[in-house]
Structure 1
Amino acid sequence: LGALGLVVNAVVLWNTIYMDAALRQLSSEGFEVRDEDVARLSPLGHEHINVLGRYTFTLPEPIANGELRPLRDPTALSDSEA
């Protein structure tokens, strides 16, 4: 496992933690979270994973200290949908 593989694995873990937090939030807010939909999710299918390039990380202090970033509002449009 090279350095890039290690970084990709760290990003996949980060995505997995946030996906879990988002699913728990959606469920607690009354959204239907179906097991068959969750089974199709992948922490690899995101544009910020670049298996061929370089990564730069600048973390705000709360994030560097282990806090999670705020989750987005599931009812708000994303930048690509606006």
Structure 2
Amino acid sequence: MLNAAVLWTTRYLEAVVEELRALPAEEREHDVLDEDVARVSPLKHANLNVLGRYSFRSSTPVDGGLRPLRDPGVPELDENDDGGQE
């Protein structure tokens, strides 16, 4: 299970790097340098733990690819908030 979660996180990290690099230079706060990307690890993220307890929400992207990346301008839901969905 941990391997699957690491792979999932790695795919999304790659998508984030690609999206950041695709931004026009004037829209980027910082350049995305290869030496910085080389130090990014999927093991440092909150969705991974060594206790063997994982929680997943089932959702399938429309095109079979990745789900949309989070918009940093939108506040995150806390774990008790369903986003108005019941």
TM-score by length of 2: 0.67
Match of 1:72 among 51, 59, 70: 70
Aligned residues: 71
Equivalent position of 2:6 in the other structure: 12
Unaligned segments of structure 1, at least 5 residues: 1-6
Percent identity reads 51
Distance, in Å, in 1 between the alignment partners of 2:69 and 2:49 is 22
Describe the shift of the 1:78–1:19 C-alpha distance in structure 2 as closer, same or farther (beyond 3 A): farther
| CA distances 1:21-60 after superposition (whole Å, capped 9, x unpaired) | 1100000013421011101100100111121132232212
Backbone CA RMSD of aligned residues: 2.3
Is 1:39 aligned to 2:38, yes or no? yes
Equivalent position of 1:4 in the other structure: none
Structure 1 segments of 4+ aligned residues over 4 angstroms from their partners: none
TM-score by length of 1: 0.70
Unaligned segments of structure 2, at least 5 residues: 77-86
Q: Which has the higher helix share?
A: 1
Describe the shift of the 1:54–1:35 C-alpha distance in structure 2 as closer, same or farther (beyond 3 A): same
Cα pair 2:47 2:54 within 8 Å, conserved: no
